[in-house]
Amino acid sequence: MRAIKLAVPFMALILGLLFLVVGCGGGGGNNGDDDAADDDAADDDAADDDAADDDTEQGCVEGDFNPYWGDLHAHTSYSDGEETPADAFAYARDVGQLDIMVVTDHLEQLYLPFPTTNKWEKCHEQADAAYEPGTYLTDCGFEYGSGFILPLFQSTGHNNVFFSADLFPMIQLDFHDFYNSLAQCAACIGQFNHPGDSDHQNWNNFEYFADVDENMNLFEFNGDGPTWDMFFEALDVGWHVSPMNNQDNHSADWGAKNEDRSGFYLADLTREDLYNAMKDRRSFMSYDKDASIKMMANTKCWMGSIIKSYQTQTVSLAVEVFDGDGDGYATIELYGPGKMLLDSADCGGQDTCSAQFDEDVLSPTYFVARANQTDGDFLVSAPIWIEP
Ligand SMILES: [Zn+2]
Ligand SMILES: [Zn+2]
């Protein structure tokens, strides 16, 4: 797919220049949250944060959540894939057997042909038609081919954007411009897509910006890069991101291309709950289609929490893993900054396994759990951060 990945940004550049020449500035920027559902979701999230009381560490996210599995990076003929979003939603539900399907066509191609046929609006109409709250969750985002190294048009990284009311401007040659768009969209959630897919797709070695970090919450493990290593590179410079594993479909095989799954712990299978889970980084990645991993701190703080206290000097991390069709686990491992292995537990090949790790906290830090299955598949939890 490398040829496509190079061709798309190059074509985008040419067409974008044309766009500018004819005097149309492109999308008009994102106007933030004129979507009522987004507003509600944001309010819920604020309520979560306010829920902290005297017994609860600030930043500890509590709640009753269940795992759901999805594919949140996929293309259709609206960019360089096949068929329509409606086909993708039906296929991912009926054949892929997913709970969550989000179509994310390439931003620049959603603007084409010019003048626009409004594929963005059409995708949302098809997502709304397929959406069954509580049963099947559908939505549309877009993929931005963020930044280019000129004059060779090598991309510095791709990013998916979720929960944006509007398309971002079509062309932003430098990924810092894209970051500005993301930071200005209060309702948007960003994702690092297939890190390391080519040599320069590392966003200038994960150059850190605190205002962008507010919205950049997700990190894909799918792709050709050494994503397990790169995940820690991103965490070590300060990004607060949680793992995803999507299929990046370019054929009509949504949900069925492989067993890669992005998992979310949700109160219910609704867009509002998905938004809250993304906002609170309550995701996991899996190479097994029906496996789950969760990690809790001090029995009540969900993975993804950024706990603003380390006064106790120890934290108890409980990890639970499960597989729906009998694949067994070999080990559960706990990692910290620098990809340092801190602890591990033997699962003896069982399809459910749990471990508790009591760790010293001497300085601001984070923890990531990884579960290894006996067949070589693995799962990665969202981190739990402990900060001043
Ligand atoms: Zn991409
Ligand atoms: Zn893609």
In the predicted model, is pLDDT for residue 93 greater than 50? Answer: yes
State the distance from the centre of ligand 2 to the C-alpha of 362, rounded, in angstroms.
Answer: 40
At 311, the pLDDT band (50, 70, 90 cuts) reads low
153 contacts: CB under 8 Å, gap ≥ 6: 6, 9, 10, 13
pLDDT tens column, 339-382: 999 999 999 999 999 999 999 998 899 999 999 999 999 999 99
Q: 228: CA distance to ligand 2 center in Å?
A: 19
Exposure string over 162-190, b if 16+ CB within 10 A, otherwise e: bbbbbbbbbbbbebbebbbbbbebebbbb
Ligand nearest to the CA of 248: 2
Question: How far does residue 302's CA lie from ligand 1's centre (Å)?
Answer: 30
Ligand 2 centroid distance, CA of 205 (Å): 20
Q: Label residue 312 exposed, middle or buried (CB < 10 Å: 0-12, 13-18, 19+).
A: exposed
Residues across the chain: 388
Q: Give the range among 49-63, 87-101, 207-221 with minimum mean pLDDT.
A: 49-63
Spatial CB neighbours of 289, under 8 Å, sequence gap ≥ 6: 69, 97, 259, 261
Q: How confident is the model at residue 148 (pLDDT cuts 50, 70, 90)?
A: confident
CA of 155 to the centre of ligand 1 (A): 10
Give kind and range of the element (H or E) at residue 26. Answer: none
CA–centroid distance, 306 to ligand 2, in Å, is 29
Residue 58: which of 345, 369, 316, 307 has the closest Cα?
A: 307
Q: Which ligand is nearest to the CA of 201?
A: 1
Mean pLDDT, residues 194-216:
96
Distance 301 CA to ligand 1 centre (A): 33
Q: 229's torsion region: left (phi>0), alpha (psi -120 to 50) or beta?
A: alpha
Q: Tell the burial category of 22 from Cβ atoms under 10 Å away from its Cβ (0-12, 13-18, 19+).
A: exposed
What's the CA-to-centroid distance between 160 and ligand 2, angstroms?
Answer: 8
Tokens of 227: 């994503």
Using the predicted structure, report yes or no on whether residue 32 has a pLDDT greater than 80: no
Q: Identify the three-state secondary structure at position 5.
A: helix
Cα of 2 to ligand 1 centre, how many Å?
Answer: 10
* Averaged confidence pLDDT in the chain: 88
C-alpha to C-alpha distance for 40 and 267, rounded to whole angstroms: 15
d(CA 288, CA 372): 11
Ligand 2 mean position, distance from CA 319 (Å): 32
53: phi then psi, degrees, rounded to nearest 5? -125, -165
AA identity, residue 15: L
The model's pLDDT over 33-73, given as tens digits with 9 standing for 90+, comes to 334 344 444 444 444 444 444 455 799 999 999 999 999 99
What's the gap in Å between 243 CA and the centre of ligand 1? 16
- Measured from the alpha carbon of residue 146, the closest ligand is 1
Q: Separation of 330 CA from ligand 1 center, angstroms?
A: 33
CA–CA gap between residue 307 and residue 319 (Å, rounded): 17
Instruction: Quote the tokens at residue 138.
Output: 């559908």
Angle between helices 119-130 and 85-94 (to 10 degrees): 30
For 321, phi then psi, to 5°, come to -130, 155
92 Cα–ligand 2 center, Å:
16
In this structure, what are the phi and psi dihedrals at residue 352, rounded to the nearest 5 degrees?
-130, 145
Would you state the pLDDT for residue 67? 98
Least distant ligand from the CA of 157: 1
- Average pLDDT on 87-91 reads 98
For residue 78, report the distance from its CA to the centre of ligand 2, in Å.
12
How far does the centroid of ligand 2 lie from the alpha carbon of residue 7, in Å?
13
Q: What is the pLDDT of residue 213?
A: 98
Dihedrals phi, psi of 252, to nearest 5 degrees: -80, 60
Please state whether the peptide bond connecting residue 337 to the residue before it is cis, i.e. omega within 30 degrees of 0: no
Q: What is the pLDDT of residue 173?
A: 84
Q: Which ligand neighbours the alpha carbon of 197 most closely?
A: 1
CB count within 10 Å of CB 362 equals 9
Amino acid at 123: C
Strands 301-302 and 261-266, bridge-based pairing: unpaired
Q: Is 137 helix (H, G, I), strand (E, B) or coil?
A: strand
Instruction: Classify the phi-psi angles of 108: left when phi > 0, otherwise alpha if psi is within -120 to 50, otherwise beta.
Output: alpha
What's the DSSP call for residue 55?
T
Cα-to-centroid distance, 145 and ligand 1 (Å): 7
Cα 351 to averaged position of ligand 1 atoms, centre (Å): 34
CA of 146 to the centre of ligand 1 (A): 9
What percent helix, strand, coil does the chain show, rounded to 5?
A: 25, 30, 45
- Cα of 114 from ligand 1 centre, angstroms: 22
